[in-house]
Amino acid sequence: MGSGHMPIGRRERAKQDKRERIMTAARELFVEHGVDRVTTQQVARRADVAIGTLYLYASTKAELLIMVQNEKFAAAVDSGLAAANAAVGQGALEPVIALIRPVVECVREHIENGRAYLRELVFGDPAEPYRQAGLTLAGRLEDGITGLLSRNEYIDAADAATLARVITAIIHISTTATVCLHRSDEAVLADIRDQIHATLAPHIRAA
């Protein structure tokens, strides 16, 4: 008997190949020049596809950016969740910092692109599929923080969810604020740590 997997047809393979070429071209150009200085025509040329073909996969440059950044964001959240699980038992703060560290580094890897990505997620059309995927990833991050805080005996489930929203807001502002643009990742993470510590302190009594 077969493995149960249907073979991928030639047309589907061609679609996958074009999508990957477009993703690779967009990723490279955004890193080389920043999203504001890249056009969809440049992406199409580097991907060796017609501009009309590119628009079948992403109708705007913003969608291209979200496609690219979603992959990076997903990997960062996965890495953070694994690190957080390894840090469980080190109090309320350390697992949260372990979770958000790769996310902060991801957003700040290319400041211009990271800021544009978060702006598009917050202010763009939430019904657009790529934004939906990005918002789902943001939800995974928030849920991960909620889960970590819920493990603490001094934080109930409702407070954990509220605190997680506050912490994600701290991350968003600290990674995109103009005043933080030229600070190192470690400096930004240290500032985020201080803010989260102050946020959690009233909810955690001394043992």
With contact defined as beta carbons under 8 Å apart, do 170 and 192 qualify? yes
Q: Which tokens is 58 given?
A: 């992403």
Q: How far is CA 5 from CA 8, 12, 150, in A?
A: 9, 14, 40
CATH match of 61-203 with 1.10.357.10: yes
Could you check whether 1-57 and 61-203 share the same CATH topology?
no
125-175: per-residue pLDDT in tens?
A: 999 999 999 999 999 999 999 999 999 988 999 999 999 999 999 999 999
The amino acid that residue 200 corresponds to is: L
Q: What six digits make up the tokens of 106?
A: 């991801």
Every domain of the chain and the residues it spans? 1-57, 61-203
Domain spanning 1-57, CATH class: mainly alpha
Dist. CA 131–CA 122, nearest whole Å = 9
**Could you tell me the pTM of the whole model?**
0.89
Express each pLDDT in 54-67 by its tens digit: 999 999 999 999 99
Q: Where on the phi/psi map is residue 34: left (φ > 0), alpha (ψ -120 to 50), or beta? A: left
Q: Which helix (H) or strand (E) holds 55?
A: helix 51-57
Residue 164 CB neighbours (<10 A)? 21
- Which tokens is 78 given? 């996965």
